[in-house]
Amino acid sequence: MKINGTPLAEASSLCKSYQTQTGQVQALDGVDLSVHAGEFVALVGPTGSGKTTLLSLLAGLEPTDRGTVTLLGQDLESLDDDALADLRLRAVGMIYQGYNLFSGFTVRQNVRLPLQLMTRRPPFDASQRTNQLLADFGLPDLAERYPAELSGGQQQLAAIARALAANPPLILADEPTANLDTTMSRQIVSRLRALADSGQHGVILATHDLRVASQADRVLSMRDGRIVKETAMQPGRSGREVLAELA
């Protein structure tokens, strides 16, 4: 891990609640978090612990109730809708458990889409960038296929390629290996690990899988909307030791 510069994203005293049929649920309760380029952070915890909500607020996909989120040095609450959308597109790549590819678009069209949505001209040729990502993720032979024609692992590789299209510094991944077999899960985590190791990206991954989490630099354990434990992963420790500490 080589941490570079100021934090890509920071959350301070972050709170968020939702109204449900059974009453109000406190999804986040005073969360503090920062992530830098070169860092791979894993969020673990049971369903309902706040992992997905935290990723959503860090990406500016929904407003906070209290507390602040800063993305690339900008307070998200200070931005209007257009400025927030533009910052999100440039700064954040989202990867989901369900892939979220557009079924009516080919793989090539899905990967290229973020570049077409940018209001500012990207600092690279869109076609060349798309072709490079397809090659990097082993997808050139599948470029003209539609998502339904791909395996789950191939869809997730396409989703990661799309998340990287605009070269965003922050990658947020919500259970990206949940629907994949062990071999493909390892490949996906290896890709995310390499992004952090490049020093150009920071990665935050939410997962139920402690073996996946053990590949991160830091593991934040969440429960009832709070970060209750932080575990630093030390090189050279056995997998059994790491899993025992996380459990």
**104-137 per-position pLDDT tens digit:** 999 999 999 998 888 677 677 889 999 999 999 9
Strand pairing of 40-44 and 218-223? parallel
pLDDT band at 246 (very low <50, low <70, confident <90, very high): low
**41-56 per-position pLDDT tens digit:** 999 999 999 999 999 9
DSSP characters over 29-91? EEEEEEEEET-EEEEE--TTSSHHHHHHHHTTSS--SEEEEEETTEEGGGS-HHHHHHHHHHH
**205-237 per-position pLDDT tens digit:** 999 999 899 999 999 999 999 999 999 887 656
Domain architecture of the chain: domains with CATH: 4-104+168-246 (3.40.50.300)
Q: How far is CA 62 from the centre of its chain?
A: 16
What is the distance between the alpha carbons of residues 212 and 190, in angstroms, rounded to a whole number?
10
Whole-model pTM: value is 0.90
